[in-house]
Amino acid sequence: MLVRDILKEKKTTFSFEFFPPKTPDGWDRLFLTISDLIPLKPSWVSVTYGAGGSTRENTHNLVVRIRKETNLAVVTHLTCVEASREDITAVIRRYDDEGIHNILALRGDPPSGCGPWKTDPRGFAYASELVAFIKKNFPHMCVGGAGFPEGHPESRNRIQEIDNLKAKIDAGADYIITQLFFDNRDYYDFCERCELAGIRVPIIAGIMPIVSRSSMFRMADLAARARIPAPLMRSVLRAENDKAVERVGIHWATEQVRDLIHNHARGIHFYTLNTANATLKIYESLGVTDSSQLT
């Protein structure tokens, strides 16, 4: 089923994100995680994408396996990194042949250690170009894009940044999924600024609970460059160990989700990090056993 059709059916969607494991044991653990999360009845799940070689192939294998072995709608990520137009066409055709018609179109980040972003002269410089290419050549595909409530890490102009996001929508993007954030006010302000810019597609909120001190610092340091609110940081720093940090992070994320539902967020996207515990605990804290009870 296409995500755009799911969004028309449901007041609020609930989706989970996974990434391709690097080891055989990781694949086994991931499918145990997916089995644990299926009873929550997500609206769809998504799979992240790596540029080039085996990483890209792992994404394809995981997406296809989820489609064949579960009843879940699945979205595959696709980036412009280290890919020509011919490469991207070949990738999309493979997905099309497998009956996978949901794509999250991203510019992507350069591989670690490769310095700043460089455009492949045979490919695309911006996600908006990738969206337009997919919509022109594979018009039956549903295409999503990324949004940054706290600002894109490379952006120097927040007004121009929204204009760049509008370019994705004008190119045909059907919805937006945001990067993770910890203060819902950032999400609401982002949605309002999108509306002022004429962006009318659903904007889905990205949520990732902090599960350890190291994960908090990693989130602040990675491409997302998440802003950690002082009350959350204070609670994490005074926690006696990572088990206590995880409880703090799950509680904070639960309150974020509760508030987003109350304020009629169009969708909530859980960055699971290939584990089920935090997401299961959030649902338990909300007093529900599956997503249908949250709307």
Active site residues: 17
d(CA 74, CA 3): 9
Determine whether 260 is exposed, middle or buried from the number of CB atoms within 10 Å of its CB (0-12, 13-18, 19+): buried
Contact criterion met (CB below 8 Å) for 19 and 25: no
d(CA 224, CA 268): 17
User: How remote is the C-alpha of 15 from its chain's centroid?
Assistant: 9
d(CA 37, CA 41): 8
Tokens of 286: 């909300």
Adjacent-strand bridge partners of 142: 102
Determine whether 161 is exposed, middle or buried from the number of CB atoms within 10 Å of its CB (0-12, 13-18, 19+): middle
